[in-house]
């Protein structure tokens, strides 16, 4: 390799998760809910959100399921990101996660919720990505 060629960027330990090679702000959020729905994140006006990773953990006391859901700006359920079923009665938990590459793009007003269908099932969800200005 010649002296003038560079194939690596400077190492930056402050990079956590999404590499800052974009004009946006990194988003890493979490929420939990038992028996209902809790919004984790809503895309602000004039922004788009690039979802790279999501995770879901369900802690069972009862039989039921937990989900991460995407809704559009008209509050219409658009997608189930992740779903996890619990059998209850024990200390076992159910966990799942997924990465999206290329990232999943959500428009302004869209939002992500964590959902549980039973009082005895607590759903813990997290998302990771970045938001940037709409083009």
pLDDT tens profile 10-23: 555 555 554 555 56
Nearest to 53 by CA among 26, 86, 76: 26
Q: In the chain, how many domains are there? A: 1
List b or e across 48-62, with b for residues whose CB sees 16 or more CB atoms inside 10 angstroms. Answer: bbbbbbbbbbbbbbb
Residue 12 lies in a domain: no
Q: Is residue 66 one of the residues assigned to a domain?
A: yes
Token output for 11? 């190492």
Quick check: is 86 in a domain? yes
In-domain check, residue 17: no
31-88 confidence digits (pLDDT tens): 988 888 999 999 999 999 999 999 998 887 778 888 999 999 999 999 999 988 877 6
- Asked if residue 50 is part of any domain, the answer here is yes
Residue 20 lies in a domain: no
Query: What pTM, to 2 d.p., does this model score?
Result: 0.79
Name 129's bridge partners: 27, 51
Look up the domain containing 88 and give its range.
25-133
Query: 8 pLDDT exceeds 60?
Result: no
- Domain assignment of residue 2, yes or no: no
DSSP-assigned letters across all residues of 36-56: EEEEEEEPPTTEEEEEEEEEE
With b for 16 or more beta-carbon neighbours within 10 A and e for fewer, the 75-109 pattern comes to eeeeeebbebebeeeeeeebeeeeeeeebbebeee
d(C-alpha 81, C-alpha 42), whole Å: 15
CATH code, 122: 2.60.120.1330
């Amino acid at each position: 390799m010649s002296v003038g060629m560079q194939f690596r960027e400077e190492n930056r330990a402050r990079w956590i998760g999404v590499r800052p090679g974009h004009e946006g702000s990194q988003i890493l959020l979490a929420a939990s809910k038992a028996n209902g729905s809790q919004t984790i994140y809503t895309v602000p006006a004039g922004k788009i959100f690039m979802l790279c990773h999501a995770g879901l953990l369900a802690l069972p006391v009862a039989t039921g399921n937990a989900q991460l859901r995407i809704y559009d700006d008209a509050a219409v359920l658009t997608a189930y990101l992740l779903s996890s079923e619990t059998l209850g009665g024990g200390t076992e938990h159910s966990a799942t996660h997924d990465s999206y590459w290329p990232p999943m793009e959500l428009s302004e007003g869209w939002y992500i919720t964590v959902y549980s269908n039973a009082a005895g099932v607590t759903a813990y969800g997290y998302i990771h990505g970045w938001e940037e200005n709409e083009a």
